[in-house]
Amino acid sequence: MINGLFETHVSTTSLETAIQFYCKLGLQHAYTEKARRVAFFWIGKPGHSMLGVWEVPREKWVSQHFAMHVDIEQFRESLTYLKDIGMTLRNISRTGEDPEVHAWMPAVSIYFRDPDGNSLEFISMLPDEPQPDLGIVPYTEWEKMHQR
């Protein structure tokens, strides 16, 4: 029945700042309802997945998290791009900005924050077999273990 996640929503304290940020991040701005203070963005191909960003007063803002899929071939490029647009990167272990692999999937990911502080993640599934016993592994080590 369920084929995927169609939309998710986060809060912002400045809709205009959020629109600029998510466009800069590479999402396609789809629609803004100024009266309701909400903007919608296509994630990937239009009509498949969407992000809604709702403006709320500072006292009602709550930090949220969502992850966006990035093709593994583009993952390293995305790290450079994020740094170029001023993002501070962090890994799941919070030990630095080097990507890490969630070995149970396996998938490599990196985290950063939007202007309000929402936690965002770029994640890429890896073509390898899951190895849940490994836990979290630095991507450089995973690559050495799975040389292609």
Q: What is the pLDDT of residues 41-51, one digit of tens each?
A: 999 999 999 99
> In Å, what is the CA distance from 120 to each residue of 2, 4, 36, 91?
24, 19, 24, 11
CATH superfamily of 1-62: 2,3-Dihydroxybiphenyl 1,2-Dioxygenase, domain 1 (3.10.180.10)
Decide if 1-62 and 64-148 have a common fold: yes
Q: In the structure encoding, which two tokens stand for residue 84, read together? A: 């170029």
Closest CA to 119 of 102, 98, 94, 84: 94
User: Which amino acid type is present at position 41?
Assistant: F
| CATH number for the domain running over 64-148 | 3.10.180.10
Prior bond to 115 cis, omega within 30? Answer: no
- Reported as a pLDDT band with limits 50, 70 and 90, residue 1 is confident
What's the rounded Cα separation, in Å, for the pair 77 and 75?
5
How many of the other CB atoms lie within 10 Å of CB of 53? 24
Strand runs labelled E in 1-148? 7-12, 28-33, 38-42, 50-55, 65-69, 100-102, 107-113, 119-125, 136-138
Domain regions of the chain by residue span = 1-62, 64-148
Q: Band of the pLDDT at 148, cuts 50, 70, 90?
A: low
List helix spans (H) across 4-138: 15-25, 72-84
User: Tens of pLDDT along 48-107?
Assistant: 999 999 999 999 999 999 999 999 999 999 999 999 999 999 999 998 999 999 999 999
pTM over 0.75: yes
Interatomic CA distance for residues 55 and 73, integer angstroms: 34
Contact 51, 10 (CB under 8 A): yes
Q: How many CB atoms lie within 10 A of CB 111?
A: 21
